[in-house]
Structure formats: C-alpha cells, structure tokens
A and B are shown apart, each in its own frame.
Chain A
C-alpha cells in the first residue's frame, strides 16, 4: 500500500480513506503508538498491507486534525517512550460510517465482479 501524492488530504482519494479507516479500526481496541499501528495492520492483513511510515504519520496527523483521534505521550510495555493515539467519540462514529461505506463498496464491487449472483442475495 504505497501512498504518494502531492495532496495528502485529497478527499477523493479512495486509498486515503481506506488507510484512515484501517487506522481507526486498529485503535478500536485501545490506544496504540504509530509503530504498533503499522505492525498491527500488517499482522492482521497477513503481511499483505504494509503501511509505510511516510503514509502512516501524515494519516495520523490528518485524523488528529479532524478530531477523530487524540495523542498522548506514554510508556510502552517495554518501557519505551512513545506517542499513543486514542479514538475519540467522534472517531468512533466515523469508524462506523467508514465501515458501512466500506461494506457497501465491497458488496457493490462484488456484484460487479460476480454478476451471476442475483443482486440482493448477499445481504
């Protein structure tokens, strides 16, 4: 998952939205620092999605700016200083919205890719 663009906040960019959603999702189970977020996404996607730091950190700033996450310095289990990101209530709502949109999108793409299936049978 390589994200390079001169305009990182372009709303139309599907990938951006997706990365944002993945980060929000990762934070659903509790506060995490940047490195851990990247590792989590990587692990959960079975190494398919490798989030580069160059995309991750701007994305985190973007989410912070929108007020969906807050950040706070803390200690890791290995007793290292790190900045932990936590979902805000607004972030939780956004995650729900993103999830339903995503599901819709996947279904739509699914229907396109497998036209034999009658529409509506999946859900």
Chain B
C-alpha cells in the first residue's frame, strides 16, 4: 500500500469527493433535462436539492478525522477566539501577563535559592544536606570547636556516624613575593574527600598515610579552579610543588571540578592535610598553644567534626550517643574549661555556617514571594471578574444562542490559559536571567573575596513555580468565570440590577480587601527592611572608617623573622608618619566589623574568681600606637598605647568599656588592674576605650582587649592611614610606602576601610534589596488590581450617577460617596493587613537591625501608601464619572 493510499484511508480525498459531487449534480441535472427541463433550471434545481455542498464536504471529512483531532480543532478555535478577544483589550491582557511574569519570576528566583542552600548546599557533594555537624557547647552556651585528639576519639568510637571528618577554614598565602596572594583553604583530615564522596579529577585525594605524623607528608590537593587559573590546567600538575605560607607542598591531585569546598559561600582553592597545620603556622580556635599543640593539645579547638549518619540513625540518636561518649570521655580524662556537652545538628545549623545565616533570610524572602503571588492571583481574579461582568452582554447572547454553560466556562478558562502561558514563559525567562544576575551581584559585593554559591538555574524548580502560578491563575480565574457564566438573561436584557449583583459586589469587595491587606503586609516588610539597612548604615560602629585606608601585608611571605619584621613595621610607620599627606598611621592585627569572629582567647582577671563553668574567652587585637586616634575610637579613661610600650617596658593592655564595666564596675576603676590573655604575661590596664562593633553591626556589646603590637608581635598586620585627600589617593600613597620598603612584599589587599565594612552589611543589603523589590512589586500589583476593581464599580454605577446627578446631586457629593465606599474597603483591608503584619513581622527579627518588628514609622508609611493608593484608585474614576453629562450617563446603556 502506497503512502498516498494509506493516507486516503485516514483522510478524505477532497478532490475525489468534489468530483463525486459534481458527478452527482450532473446526473441529477441530466435526469431533470430528460424530464423536459431546460439546462439552467435543471442545474439549479439539482443544486438546490443537493443542499449545502460545503457542509456535506465538512461532514464527510469529519467521518475520517479521529475524535482527538476533532477536539483539538475545537480547542484551537477556542484559543484563536480567546486571542482575538484578549487582543481587543490589550491593557487588561498585558496587565495580567505582567502580573504573572513578576509573580512567577520572583518566586522561581527565591525558590531556586532556597532549594539550593537548603537541599544542595555543597556543590559536587551528593546529599550534602544530610551531613550532620558536631560542636561543643560551654555552660554559657558558647559554641566551641573540637580538638584534634578529641576528634580522633570520636571518629573511632562514635558509631552513629558512618564516617567523621574534620575541616577548618584558613586563609592561606599562595606563592611568594609580588605574585603571592591570599586564598581560602581548608585544613582537612584525610577522610574528608572519602566521606564526601569527592573524587580527584587528576592524581589522588588524600590517603590515611597523609595523616600519620605531623609534617611527614607535605602534600596538597588543589581545586579545579586554582589548577586552571594559576597553573594553566597543566596536565603534569601532579608532583609539582606549590608554596603555601612559604612552605613547599607537593600537589598530589586536583579535586573534582564541581567541588568548591564545604563553606557554602567561599570558593576554597586548596585542601591541606591537617598534619601540615603546625608546620604551616595556621592558627585556630580559642586556646593558645604551641604549633605542635594543634594536633596534640585537647584544649586546642580545631574544627567541627562532620559526617553522614549511619542508615537508620536519627539525629536525636546520634546526639544522644555522641553526648554520652563525651560525658564518659570528660569523666575519664577531665579537662578544665572543656565544653560541657557535645551537640549534633544538621549541616544547615553549623555554628557560624553560611546556611545558618542565609536560611532564615531566604525563608523570609520565600514568604514574601508567596505573598506577591497571592496578590497576583487576587489581581487576576479581580481582572477576570471585572472582564467577565463587562462581557455579560456577550455571554448572555451566547447563552441565548444555545451555547452551553460548560462551553462558556471553557472559553473563559481558555482565555485565562492564553494569558497564563506567556506570563509563565516570561516569568521563567525573568528567573533564568535574574538568578545569575543576583548571584553575580553577591559575588561583586564580596570581591575581592572569592565566593561561590551552589545556586544553579534549576529547570525543575522554575518549572514548578511556573506550574503553580499557572494553576493559581486558572483556579483564581475560574471562580469569577463560573460566576460570569451564571448570567441571568432576563436581568441582563432588562439592564437591571440583578439579585446576584450583591453577591458579585461581595466578591469584588473581598478582592479589594484582600489585596489591600496583603500589599500592606508586603509594604510593612519592605519598609522594615529598608529602615534596617538605613539603621545599619547609620549605626555607629564605634569607629570612623571614612578617610582611612587598610593595607594588609604578611611579612612572613617574604621570609622575615620576628626581628626583621619588627624593623619593617617600625620603618613603615615612620615613613607613613613622615608623609605630610598622612595625618596619622597605625598598625592593627584585625579589622573591626570583619563579619566573622576572630580568635577568642581565655582571659584571666586578677582578683576575679570565675564561677564554675563561667566562660571567660574574649577576642583581642594587637595594635600599635595611634590606633585609637586613627580610627577615632573614644578613649574613656587612662591613656592609649605609645611607642614606649615596647618589649622592654612593663606589659600593658587597653580594654573596652564593656569589659571594664563587667569586672570593675566602671572605666576609671579599671586603670591599674591586671589581666592575662591566654598563657601570656599579666598586663596592667592603662586605658579604657569605647565599644566597637567587632564583627557584625548587630552584635551585642562584648568584652574586648587591645595589646600593644610591640609587646605582641604578629607577622600579618594591616596598615591604617588617615588623611584629608580623596581616599583612593590615600590608598595609593600608603601602598607606595609599603613598596618603597620592600617591592617584593605581596600586598594582600589595599582598600579604603569603608569598603571593608561591606562584608558585614552584605546580608542586610541583599535581603533589603529583595524585600524592597517584593514590596514595590506587590504594591504595584495591588494598586493596579484595586484601581481596576474600583473603577469598574464606578463604571457599573454610571446609571446611578446619572440619576443622582439628574436629581440634583453635585459632582462633589458623588465623588465623596464613592470615596467613602472605597476608603471603607481600604480601611477594612488595612486593618486586616496591620493585624497580620503585627503577627508575622516578628518572624523578620533575624533580618532586622535597629528597628523593632513593630516599628511605627514603617507601619505608618505602609498605611499611607496603601490608603493613598485606594484614594487615587477611587477618586480618578469617580471624578470622571461625575463629570459626564447626566443625560449621556442615562443613555449610556
């Protein structure tokens, strides 16, 4: 059977059929002519007898078309009709498409981020969300790391875990001389890669033999990114040496390209076996110890052990088992100041971990996204309702002509779908474009720190968001569509207020109220977020970063020993201070507002007996003379460090106000008292300075100590200079001073100090930006929706307006009447919104700063905007209606 004849079995052969009909007509005409009719009459008579040729052909064709094709053709004509109907009302159609685009786009973006951080926090690690993390907790609730000996014990005895590895984030200096730079590295136990299931792209990962003795195997694993960027993807990389902290390590492998370490936010570039930590001089944890003590001292807190639980083990079981082990260990081998208990938490709650910061924020954002979607749905429902009502006439005519109600509803649903599909497509595009933009924005904010988020445009998530939004649109469009189809023919024809008018009014009023309420909620959220950022920016961090530079160097990178280092730094300060463009110059080990806490050390206060289990570990900073003057930190009592506080002089310290208040009851009382940091000398307190925000803008006041640099040498310091010139010039100036002393010394960074605060504000900035976008989008949607509904109500009442004005009512009173009605709805919505906002804004607590969750200003602003929107949405159409000639209003319908 040829293709053609096969097709003929499935489709009507049109030509053949036409010929058959012509033959039929010819035969019929011939018979008539045989009966005596003339040719013309015969021809027309047979045509007439035959009937409608087109219809017949169509019917014959339908015999051959399969049912589904037939149904499809029906749908296509529905769609075609819907497009035609929607094209007639482009404002409505574009609005709905826009609303959906925004709703889907925002939600898809937020869900993608939430899903990434919550479910796949680590790139290149399957099931990374299932990782469990262990940490110690002191009696005061401080979270502490676990020492290497304790880790070993837990690894060998804790049967709740199928494997337990340790990792600690470090900043490693890569290379030597000018080309050296600081990169993120992880100091890891050998089984790190094994437990995570990360393979080597080249060479190998780590082996048990890499963890036998300190310094025995100087090896390193590189990240794929580092291998490509710094080594040109050298195929012979395995066996080459790289320099880390001036020590040579042999590359044994390159990790899988999908793997970026376990920090969730940073792009970790090297993985170093823990046995190399003492030799490379990394510093960890809260206890001072000798370098070799890192691996042997039980008080040297090193890392949070983590791993996967054995199948069938719950987190609670693991926590109980781990804690039992810990209690037994503490009893057998007691240790002062040990963590009171060990806790096991899911990876997302890692102490100081990125997910711990990010997830609450993303949760808030998701909630906001859902609210926007809710508004979008209410909006669509309103628009469909209004449209359905303005098409009452058309629908009535269709019903009168015999269309079934199902058919009408189907048509309206098809119209909704025709709107939903482009909305969904655009929304998906928006999300696909928007997510990389957002991630890029975060990366730029973090530069020059290398960050990496495992946030991928996930088609499944985006598709799901689009599907949900379309379903919402359908469902929300269906209710009004059903209502529209229930047109009372008589009432439409009589142009009368139907008894159902009241019910429709209620739906309309409900939609207005709902939109006002939800938009108020969004606006309050956006307002609170914006005010938080303002507050965080305005907040006094306790120091003045403007006109101050920060130039970081580590003289160890050029193999300086302590005496050469001291000389270098003293020359550097002298040179800077001799510069007429520099008002003051100083050195500091740590920058304030560095986002992450720096090392806290145990502190002894003379004459103060710590309560049992009291946790006295505070952060400290090694600074040179002029530090407080350069950063404009207020000196409250005593004196600041001077150059005479050197290694030959009596040991001294400066404490902050919180410490002085807590132990001596005041700044003045603190002068002359003695403190000891770690295992060091007893130091006399010579000064008390005001508190500073040491890590984050929203931290609580905490005790802090400053030690004179000359009595506590560090190889890695930051030079701060203050001057009157533009800050970028100041940076170049300071950089030149460093280069003049040692042109080969790598500068780790050289930036205006104000830029260094960005990290501390990053999360606020991002959250606030998103919340602001959501607030504005939600408000815009709600305003459009409210305007549409109200103006439609007004339009519906054109007759009423006409009658009232014909009876002598003034335009003003008409407007006033509508305004009262509109504001009544607005007030109900606003009240509901305020109640809801009061209820849920407390959840925003984690992302707020400096404003209370019930901040009256934010509420007042939101109320003003919402009620203003309702007023405008009412007045404009009412005024327009009132201006129309009463007579024409009456004629209108």
Contact = CB atoms under 8 A, between A and B. Distances in A.
Given A35-B28, A53-B56, A83-B23, A65 B62 contact: no
Given A34-B20, A83-B20, A57 B27 contact: no
A52 B63 contact: no
B766 interface: no
A110 to B, nearest CB: 33
A54 B51 contact: yes
A18 interface: no
Interface stretch (A23-31, A73-81, A95-103): A73-81
Contacts of A57: 17, 20-21, 56, 59-60
Given A54-B51, A57-B21, A83-B20, A76 B59 contact: no
Contacts of A7: 62
B59 A8 contact: yes
Nearest to A5: B59
Contact of A53 (B9, B26, B50, B63): B50
Nearest to A50: B49
Contacts of B12: 61
A61 B24 contact: no
Contacts of B23: 33-35, 80-83
Contact of B30 (A9, A52, A55, A80): A80
B59 A58 contact: yes
Given A57-B17, A58-B62, A61-B63, A80 B50 contact: no
Contacts of B9: 65
Contacts of B28: 35
A28 to B, nearest CB: 21
B11 to A, nearest CB: 11
B31 to A, nearest CB: 8
Interface string A59-79: 001100100000000001010
A65 B63 contact: yes
Count chain B CB atoms within 10 A of each CB in A55, A61, A76, A78 and give the residue with the most.
Answer: A61
B30 A78 contact: yes
Contacts of A76: 27
Contact of A62 (B20, B24, B27, B63): B63
B842 to A, nearest CB: 61
Contact of B27 (A9, A58, A80): A80
B20 A52 contact: no
Interface string B3-18: 0000001001000110
Residue among B16, B23, B51 facing the most chain A CB atoms (10 A cut-off)? B23
Given A54-B51, A61-B64, A65-B64, A35 B59 contact: no
A58 B51 CA distance: 13
Nearest to B46: A35
A50 B49 CA distance: 10
A7 B391 CA distance: 30
B401 interface: no
Contacts of B63: 8-9, 58, 61-62, 65
B494 interface: no
Interface string B555-597: 0000000000000000000000000000000000000000000
Contact of A58 (B16, B20, B60): B60
A76 B9 CA distance: 26
B24 A53 contact: yes
A94 to B, nearest CB: 16
A101 to B, nearest CB: 22
A52 B51 contact: yes
Given A35-B24, A35-B27, A80-B26, A53 B59 contact: no
A65 B55 CA distance: 19
Contacts of B50: 53-54
A54 B27 contact: no
A76 B21 CA distance: 15
Nearest to B9: A65
A57 B20 CA distance: 9
A33 B59 contact: no
Nearest to A34: B24
A54 B52 contact: yes
Interface string B47-78: 00111100110011011100000000000000
A54 B26 contact: no
B62 A8 contact: yes
A81 to B, nearest CB: 6
Given A53-B50, A65-B63, A80-B30, A58 B24 contact: no
Nearest to A53: B50
Nearest to A82: B23
A80 B33 CA distance: 14
A33 B17 CA distance: 13
A108 B52 CA distance: 37
A35 B20 CA distance: 10
A35 B409 CA distance: 44
Contacts of B16: 83
Given A8-B62, A57-B17, A61-B64, A82 B27 contact: yes
A23 to B, nearest CB: 13
Nearest to B59: A58
Of A36, A54, A65, A81, most buried by chain B (CB within 10 Å of CB) is A54
Interface string A7-19: 1110000000000
A57 B56 CA distance: 7
A78 B34 CA distance: 11
A40 to B, nearest CB: 13
Contacts of A61: 12, 17, 60, 63-64
B440 to A, nearest CB: 57
A57 B50 CA distance: 11
A32 to B, nearest CB: 11
B413 to A, nearest CB: 21
Contacts of B64: 61, 65
Interface in B738-793: none
Contact of A33 (B27, B51, B52, B62): B27
A112 B30 CA distance: 46
Contacts of A35: 23-24, 27-28
Given A35-B27, A80-B30, A54 B20 contact: no
Contacts of A81: 23
A112 B831 CA distance: 72
Interface string A36-55: 10000000000000001111
8 contacts: A33-B24, A35-B24, A35-B28, A58-B62, A62-B63, A65-B63, A80-B27, A82-B27
Given A8-B62, A53-B50, A65-B9, 18 more contacts: A7-B62, A33-B23, A33-B24, A34-B20, A35-B23, A35-B24, A36-B27, A53-B21, A54-B59, A55-B59, A57-B20, A57-B21, A57-B59, A62-B63, A80-B26, A82-B23, A83-B20, A83-B23
**9 A-B pairs with least C-beta separation:** A58-B59, A61-B63, A53-B50, A54-B56, A61-B60, A35-B27, A83-B20, A54-B51, A58-B60
